[in-house]
Chains A and B, each alone.
Chain A
Amino acid sequence: GAVVSQHPSRVICKSGTSVKIECRSLDFQATTMFWYRQFPKQSLMLMATSNEGSKATYEQGVEKDKFLINHASLTLSTLTVTSAHPEDSSFYICSALKRTRGGALFGANVLTFGAGSRLTVL
């Protein structure tokens, strides 16, 4: 099956520092990955679409200078929260698209999610 590893699962940092979160597709190549932010008891909010070898596409209202995304290889995308502040504290989740190879959903692109990263900015 498709596995997406996200690291770290929890990070606590001081205000003003930068934090990097990694998202790796372990058993498949992902040309496209997505980054989400999830507030307590709410749905996933898409922040940006990460494309291997090109600039990320950010959703409206997401500061690209605050949330730096790099997708340097087919298996790794990183999200760096720069100069983090307490309001950036949240649960960040990545996902990757994988094309299915068999079964009833043959040929469909399936979203596989990482386990998420809980960021707390003091």
Chain B
Amino acid sequence: QQQVKQSPQSLIVQKGGISIINCAYENTAFDYFPWYQQFPGKGPALLIAIRPDVSEKKEGRFTISFNKSAKQFSLHIMDSQPGDSATYFCAAMEGGGFKTIFGAGTRLFVKA
């Protein structure tokens, strides 16, 4: 019940294409869903986040789609660029962030 399932494990996308990463959760107590981007040898950085009372949030080329009834959320990267090549983690938080469950990560490679 505490897991956050993330797919795919790895993803190769052509430059200019759309990258889509999916996550699913079980615990309905989660109340905040961030996505993190991590480059090799660096710590994760917050990319975009959403609360469950919103179905979509867009920031530049990055969009989160949230389906509360299905307990699923996804990250869409529009016009993917080689600089987007990184590992992406979804997460689910509850208790004001004192409990955070991370997905397994998706390694994205954008081909030039």
Please report A residues at the B interface, Cβ cutoff 8 Å: 4, 6, 32, 34, 41-44, 46, 49, 91, 93, 95, 97, 104-105, 108-116, 118
Is A113 a contact of B43 with CB atoms below 8 Å? yes
Q: Is chain A's interface secondary structure helix, strand, loop, or mixed overall?
A: strand
Please report B residues at the A interface, Cβ cutoff 8 Å: 32, 34, 36, 41-46, 49, 51, 54, 57, 89, 91, 93, 96-98, 100, 102-105, 107
In the complex, 20 of the A-B residue pairs with CB atoms within 8 angstroms, ordered by the A residue number, are A6-B43, A43-B102, A43-B103, A46-B100, A49-B98, A93-B43, A97-B96, A104-B57, A105-B49, A109-B93, A109-B96, A109-B97, A110-B49, A110-B97, A111-B34, A113-B36, A113-B45, A114-B43, A115-B42, A116-B42
Is A108 a contact of B51 with CB atoms below 8 Å? yes
Is A43 a contact of B89 with CB atoms below 8 Å? yes
- Contact A32 B46, CB 8 Å, known A42-B105, A43-B103, A116-B41: no
Q: A43-B102, A49-B98 are in contact. List 5 more A-B contacts (CB 8 A).
A: A43-B104, A46-B100, A110-B49, A110-B97, A116-B42
- Contact A42 B104, CB 8 Å, known A97-B98, A108-B32, A108-B97: yes
By a CB distance below 8 angstroms, the chain B residues around A105 are 32, 49, 51
Identify the closest chain B residue to A100 (Cβ).
B49
